[in-house]
Structure 1
Amino acid sequence: MNAMKFDVVAMGNHELDFGQDVLKKRISEATFPVLAANVLGMEELKPYAIKEVGGVRVGILGVVAEDTPLLTHPGNVAGLTFLPVQEAVEKVLPEMKKRSDMVVVLSHIGHPADRLLVEQVKGIDVIIGGHSHTKVANPPVIGETIILQAWEHGKALGVLDIIYENGRMKSAKGYLEDIKPTEGGADKSVEAVVLKHKIIVDSVLNQTIGETDVDLDGENVRRRETNLGDLVADMIRDVSNADAALINSGAIRTSIRRGEIRAKDIYSVVPFDNYIVAVKLKGRQIQAALEHGVSAAEKGVGAFPQVSGIQFKYDLSAPPGARTREIRIKGRPLDPEEEYAVATLDFIASGGDGYKAFGDAITSSKDYSVIGGAMKGEKLVYSDPGKWLRDIAIEYIRSRKKVSPQTEGRIVEVKRQ
């Protein structure tokens, strides 16, 4: 990013995935400011920056999704306060306007929220958005504000041409340019940075750990059961010897093609620093967790569950909170009052991704505590904070040498006739 000479960067929710210390270190290494006006508690984050472009003072304000605490491990946001975006922008805007000729909001809140922000707060000239991975080919103008977003994963370059005359933005035109990585040679300065670090990690990440006879589907985990979702849930259940396992699909980030599996594939699939725990839950708490998992299934959210030792059906035509049907644990109907050991990730066990049933169960322990980032409590029947999920996955596949998981009807959508 330094080699690309960015002027400013807005914080996104994933900046906290590896903890505050790592984020602070990355910011200290950056040659540009990292902006988040609605985050309090980390002095390294700045609310805004002023850049002069063609003689025009451009004020750039950063905001991040206010539900970020739900999207990362609770320990990663300890001591931080996430203000409502509207409140933060309204607080900073008057000061910015005194120091700048034009106001740009660099947001990581999603395109629908960008549009809402324009209606809530006047005086914003431009919003450059992210988070929702929206391809905004023809940026809308709402009132006097143009709203842009350049899609995702470096697929396009967002361009905004502004004509500024007589103290105001006279016109603005935004568009996308397709990026074709195969055309042209590599940038020498960026190539040097990449090669320096590539040599260090390649010897580890290129190790072959096993093979798969089938494509492992990580693309569709947010909408349905997949064989990769089953495989990861099985790993977690197996290592913890639990009755069942439940994870959020957001923990699985990509697919693996049929053939050799390398360590780097696992790092891509499960990149987060999550460890495995098993929690005592009553049947009714498991049902509540599953209800939460499918409460927004039609939207393809990361909270959608992948399970092992559990079978259930759900009905999208039913209201959220009343969608699950025919829940079974280890082949037997779920008993609302029976206690089961359910394996999951520490992120979910802490109530992450909105899984309140897990969080409430853990914190209800009389001896509940968090020491050095590791949870303790009578409701925990298994906990190994010394091993990340990706380490477990590498060991699991290496010990079996070959995997070929198939979906088994663990999660079935039913539709009313």
Structure 2
Amino acid sequence: MHRPLARTTALLGALLLVSGVATSGVLPAQARPAPERDRPAATLLYFHDAHEIGPVLTGGQDRGGVARLATAVRTVEERNRATAVVFGGDLAGGTLFGGLYRGVPMVDALNEVGVDLANFGQHDFDFGVDHARDLVAASDFPWITSNLTGTDGSPFVEGGTWAVQRVGPVRVGFIGLTDAIETTSAAADLVETDPVEAARAAVADLRAHARADVIVAVTQYPMTENHELARAVPELDAVFGEEMAEYESVIEYEGDVPLMASEGNIGSLIRLDIRRERGGRLTAGYGEHRPEYQVRPSVIEVDHTVTPDPELREVEERYAAEMDERLSEVLADVRTPLLDPEQKSRSQETALGDFVADAFRAQHGADVGWVNGGGLRAQAPGPDFTLRDAYSIAPFANRVMEVRVTGAGLRRSLEDAVARVQDAGGGFPQVSGLAYAYSAGAPAGSRVREVSVGGAPLDDAATYTVAATNYVIGGGDGVSGFQDAEVLVPLGDAPVDAEVIAAHARAVGTIDVTPEGRITVLP
């Protein structure tokens, strides 16, 4: 279906501030003519990971973009009007574009593409639950979630724990599952319930209140978890899941249930054709008979071979120009390049790590600044430090919180954070106001030595203030020592990490950082 592109400017200015959303469990029938005999009874087109509105040029490949997506979808719809488009989630945060625009332009673009149903990805909550509700309210399509609830146990989307859409002659039931909410700004306001239990409950409720010929799970889970889901919930006929490879679509099977993942950054569509089997009719469990259907997956590439939709291509170009102008703002001079050769921030002190940890510490006036090395995603070689550098270094829209922790808790966190250094684990701590030595070859629990804060030896019985992201405070990368910390600046009041970095660059004016022995690597 083709919908007019309309509200981007107003949405960006106001962000709607809508506090509630209501979607019905059973959606109105789609008024589409029946397909010809040699065509599928119905077709589902699935994609997810829509952080970037324009094409992505990575790994020597030119992929994605909403203009190509629109063409790919309409090409299928022209051959079979009994087609529905399913979005698997993640359109806010996670990248430069997502961090700057918070998903608002993507919703407007997906309205134009003609999305029929969406599930949530964790990045859709990077800017909190109220903003996620704003995105839902701005959508011409319904969103569902079967396993996300408010802290009071109520479904995040009222009436939207499942949905049924009629796609041509086929009633397709959908459930939606999302994980990793603890890594987002909504962690304190949402409860992520067990996916298998939630799926079973949603399917049971769906079958008790509606009729469905085929039931599809739309998840933000990788293949291993989706195999478990398909085994645990035998009513499922297909599972759309999270991307497994940036440049490759993946289709696996659990029995006869296809488990499908498209490429990241809208690099492909999964096409699921639903065909009516020849022969008899089966009892459906609803006290009547119905046709039996089979599902058959395939892949449609969304790459340079697809002609972009002209209207949406203009939108892509407009945002590219606007981003370039915004991100070119010079915040500071770079006297010493902030480099991270071969991801050294995952194993040793770097100037880049020092600068970001200093920024976090300065933001709250904390005793310690802490940033996980795996969270540093770009370098800043200079000679200028721009807003683009700040958002490239920290593209995930994490929030910089402040907590008060005991010395024992801080020491335990350091031990946890260096535990996977030999595997280049992302939790390795770059620090400010703190110094430590570690030996990767020492026994677990005794790798960290010679810890000091403010030049004085760490006192396990004393307390210290720490500025770190919600990801670290919440136990990301296995860091456990902050679990019982007193929260001084909670998630809802914490600034976005890229904005903290940008503010620090403006404040110092000239970036001149040289590793000074905060981290010592021992044999």
Same fold (TM over 0.5): yes
Would the aligned equivalents of 1:326 and 1:333 in 2 still touch at CA under 8 Å?
no
CA positional deviation for 1:299: 7.1
In the superposition, relative to structure 1, how do residues 146 and 189 fare at CA in structure 2: closer, same or farther (>3 Å)?
same
Shift, 1:47, TM fit: 2.1
Cα deviations by residue, 1:188-239 (Å, 9 ceiling, x for unpaired): 3323444666676665433122354546449948844454333211222345
Aligned to 2:413: 289
Q: Distance in 1 between matches of 2:345 and 2:200?
A: 35
Q: 1:333 to 1:135 in 2, by over 3 A?
A: farther
Q: Aligned partner of 1:391: which letter?
A: E
Query: CA deviation digits over 1:112-151, x for unaligned, max 9?
Result: 2112212222121211111665766452211121111123
Could you say if the C-alpha distance between residues 282 and 170 of structure 1 is closer, same or farther in structure 2, counting changes exceeding 3 Å?
A: closer
Matching of residue 8 in structure 1 with residue 117 in structure 2 = yes
2:257 is aligned with 1:145: yes
Residue of structure 1 in register with 2:281 after alignment: none
Q: Determine helix, strand or coil for the equivalent of 1:6.
A: coil
Per-residue CA distance 1:158-195 (angstroms, 9 max, x = gap): 44455442444446243463x445x6664333234446
Q: 1:48 aligns with which of 162, 170, 180?
A: 162
The 3 A distance-change label for structure 1 pair 269 and 317 is same
CA distance in 2, matches of 1:339, 1:252: 27
Task: Supply the AA of the counterpart residue of 2:233.
Answer: V
Aligned mates of 2:394, 2:516 — CA distance in 1: 22
Paired position in structure 2 for 1:127:
239
Tell me which residue corresponds to 1:396.
504
Q: What is aligned with 1:315?
A: 440
Instruction: Indicate the residue corresponding to 2:198 in structure 1.
Output: 88
| In 1: Cα distance, 2:145 partner to 2:341 partner | 31
Residues 244-263 of structure 1 correspond to what in structure 2 (within 5 A)? 244-249=368-373, 251-256=375-380, 258-263=382-387
Give the letter for the 1:26 counterpart. Answer: L
- In the alignment, the residues of structure 2 paired with residue 284 and residue 402 of structure 1 have an alpha-carbon distance, to the nearest angstrom, of 36
Q: Retained in 1: the 8 A contact 2:328–2:388?
A: yes
Greater strand fraction, Structure 1 or Structure 2: 1
> How big is the shift at 1:340?
3.7
Structure 2 counterpart of 1:114, one-letter code:
N
How far 1:273 moved relative to its partner?
A: 6.1
Residue 388 of structure 2: which of 251, 264, 267 is its match? Answer: 264
**Fraction of identical pairs, as percent:** 25
Which TM-score applies when normalising by structure 2? 0.63
Q: Which of these two proteins has the greater Rg computed from alpha carbons?
A: 2
Alignment counterpart, residue 209 of structure 1, candidates 325, 331, 337: 331
- Tell me the residue number matched to 1:325: 448
Conserved in 2, the CA contact under 8 Å of 1:7 and 1:32?
A: yes
- What per-residue deviation string (whole Å, max 9, x for no partner) do you get for residues 329-348 of structure 1? 25665443344443324665
Is residue 123–residue 184 contact of structure 2 (8 Å, CA) maintained in 1? Answer: yes
Pick closer, same or farther for the CA change 1:151–1:202 going to 2, 3 Å: closer
Return closer, same or farther for 1:54/1:409 CA change in 2, 3 Å cut-off.
farther
Letter in 2 for 1:398: R
- Match in the other structure for 2:136: 27
* C-alpha contact (below 8 Å) 2:333/2:382 kept by paired residues: yes
- Aligned partner of 2:171 in structure 1 is 57
Q: CA deviation at 1:397?
A: 2.2
Structure 1 alignment gaps of length 5 or more: 375-384
In the TM superposition, residue 91 of structure 1 has moved relative to its aligned partner by 0.8
Give CA-to-partner distance per residue, 1:252-276, whole Å, 9 cap, x none: 4544465543213323433526245
Quick one: structure 1 residues 141 and 352, their matched pair in 2 at CA, closer, same or farther if it must change by over 3 Å? closer
Q: Which amino acid aligns with 2:327?
A: L
**Number of aligned residue pairs:** 390
1:191 aligns with 2:313: yes
Contact 1:243 1:329 in 2 (8 A): no
In the alignment, the residues of structure 1 paired with residue 486 and residue 184 of structure 2 have an alpha-carbon distance, to the nearest angstrom, of 17
Quickly say closer, same or farther: Cα 1:298–1:130, change in 2 above 3 A.
farther
8 Å contact kept, 1:148–1:174: no
Match for 2:111: what amino acid? N
Residue 10 of structure 1 contacts residue 34 of structure 1 at CA under 8 Å; is this kept in 2? yes
Cα distance change, pair 145–413 in 1 and its aligned pair in 2 (3 A)? farther
1:172 and 2:296 are equivalent in the alignment: yes
Conserved? CA contact 1:237–1:243, under 8 Å? yes
> What is the distance in 2 between the residues matched to 1:221 and 1:227?
10
Q: Contact 2:422/2:440 (CA < 8 Å) preserved in 1? A: no
State which drifts further: 110-119 or 238-247. 238-247
Q: Take 1:127 and 1:155, find their aligned partners in 2: how far apart are those partners?
A: 19
| Distance in structure 2 (CA, Å) of the matches to 1:158 and 1:255 | 35
Contact 1:295–1:323 (Cα < 8 Å) also in 2: no
Q: Return the TM-score normalized by structure 1.
A: 0.77
